[in-house]
Amino acid sequence: MSTRMPDSSEESLNIVRRRILAITWVVTAIHGLFGAIGAAYALGPDRRSDQVILLVVSVPLALIIYGVTVVILDKPIIGWRTTPWLVLLLGFCVAGFVWVL
């Protein structure tokens, strides 16, 4: 007797695995994004140039988080389901600029 699952079950299991990996990745990586924004705030206004550098670094971090997540989920880079997440991540960066500067 074979323990091999039918093709539809394997595909469903792979989708679940991808989603769990993507959630784990985003939850872990978003700490880096929030950490950069929080560190910029913690530096204080006397180190304005360092704050700007950290806030500028937060944008590529957001793009990396988005890109890796889209690749893990095997979705198109720009699509009606994925683009709102990019806007949300970049919104955190914009909110950081407004909050810190």
Give the tens place of pLDDT for each residue, 24-59: 999 999 999 999 999 999 999 999 999 999 999 999
Give the tens place of pLDDT for each residue, 1-27: 556 666 788 899 999 999 999 999 999
Q: Which domain holds residue 61?
A: 7-100
Q: Which amino acid is at 34?
A: F
Question: H-helix or E-strand containing 63?
Answer: helix 48-73
Is 2 among the domain residues?
Answer: no
Global pTM reads: 0.88
DSSP string for 3-37: -PPPHHHHHHHHHHHHHHHHHHHHHHHHHHHHHHH
Is 91 among the domain residues?
Answer: yes
Is 1 among the domain residues?
Answer: no
Is 36 among the domain residues?
Answer: yes
Is 62 among the domain residues?
Answer: yes
Helix or strand or coil: residue 51? helix
Domain total of the chain: 1
Is 29 among the domain residues?
Answer: yes
Per-residue tokens: 89: 């991540």
